[in-house]
Structure 1
Amino acid sequence: MTRAHLPVHARPRPPIRWNSSIYWVLIGIAVLIALSFWTLDLQLARMLSIDSAVRMGKFLGELLSPNLDPKFLSKLGIASLETLAMSALGSLIAAGLGLLLALPASKTTNGVKSAWYSITRLLLNAFRSIPELVWAALLLISAGLGPFVGTLALALHTTGVLGRLFAEAIENAPQGAAQALRIQGVNEGRIFLFATLPTVLPQLVSYSLYRWENNIRAAAVLGVVGGGGLGQMLAFHMGLFQMRETSSILIAMIILVVLVDALSYVARRLMSR
């Protein structure tokens, strides 16, 4: 029996169905990518030239020889502690504000929205839509230069991120214990404290620790606008093309991220027991 005589349901499907919208979407994305390469002024010949390779080799040679002068390392240690304090305090403030905003931004058991649902959702969207760097630039007018600006910028942006994550976790929490307390006439505040919060607390802590890791890296970017810490040192020495000092600062940032990542891993393991 030939393919033409097979029933419609028994015929093999063609590998590409041009009447499917997904293929046209992929073709459109491919066209946009091709146009992006065409509109960008990619000077590949200049980038792959011998002169560029020589300069890049010299740059890497300086970058791979960090400055180990004790006086500079002392300043680097103080800036590292400053960055660690900025990220930790900013994350802590964001976790508290995010939880407060997540309560009205989450639906109840029956899917009923609170009176402040739309406003708090809009506020959380606004907080996380503005990057930390922009927050720091805006806060410079009122708070001036220094780590305080960096801490506030990290806290505001992270509040929007954690608030949304916390709200989703509260909405998706198991409702068995909460429903049992609700039937007995317990008010919603006690239900959250004794039923919902213990269930979602490990997840909330995990989200907060993850954002702390991200804030270590974000604190480095804030130095561009004078946010203090390692970022300010990095912007200063990179601006002067002092690659040995820049290398030391980058190593300090890597060490900080690794330490915070290790602390987060240990904390998650302890919570999972």
Structure 2
Amino acid sequence: MPIEYQDVVRTGVARQVADKIRAAILDGRLQIDERLPTEEDLAKSFGISRPTVREALKRLAAQNLIRSQRGPTGGTFVSRPDPEGLSSAITGAATLLVGVGAFDIDEIISARLETEAICCRLACERRSDADLAAMRAEITLQRSKLLSDEDFCASDVRFHRAVVQAAGNGPLSLMMYTVVEAFMPITNMIVSHVRERSTVADFHEKLAGAIEARDASDATAVLSELLAYVRDSYALSLTRRAEREAKRG
């Protein structure tokens, strides 16, 4: 394990050791499933105590970068990165930022338009019959009058998740996880009482049709219209909320 140990500073040692091992994992010096040296060997290499090493390893385990395995062949091993786990952590942070007003609706809509438009273009090239079936299943569900507001919002997210999936690009899916799993639920929660479900379902129908026809220009145009409708619905919801608060005041 070719890691430089000599320049570890004594302050915040556990964090620095964790950072050094993390860097070795990310740049490939430590390979997936490679066994790390024992706590005792790491302590000697870094010139620190075993409890400090243990704290550093806990930090790495919390980031899902290493895992422990018991038994004769056990030890501490480098873990394969979990895209969903990483995405969930990013999504949690994004949800918090939106909740405290760090992003406004125009920023969110702009981010969705620019990133999801890429997904639409790729989906037109790569979509499978299964991808189209997933989209149309959600559209059928969205047209049900028995569907609750909460279930409609969940279906909306699943529809756009299917569009991202149809793009067939892993790194893009990772990037879009925050957009679909954090930004969409928050905006849906705000606009659910003012938007028309049938209008949203119609947009989804047109978008699925454009993707099926492999018409990237039409798909991105429909997406732009849909997001403009979301923005208008958001503004209407805030206006009505202000009116209610004014009446109560």
Larger radius of gyration: 1
Q: TM-score, normalised by structure 1?
A: 0.26
Q: Which protein is richer in helix relative to its size?
A: 1
Does 1 or 2 have the higher relative contact order (CA < 8 Å, sep 6+)? 1
TM (norm. structure 2) is 0.28
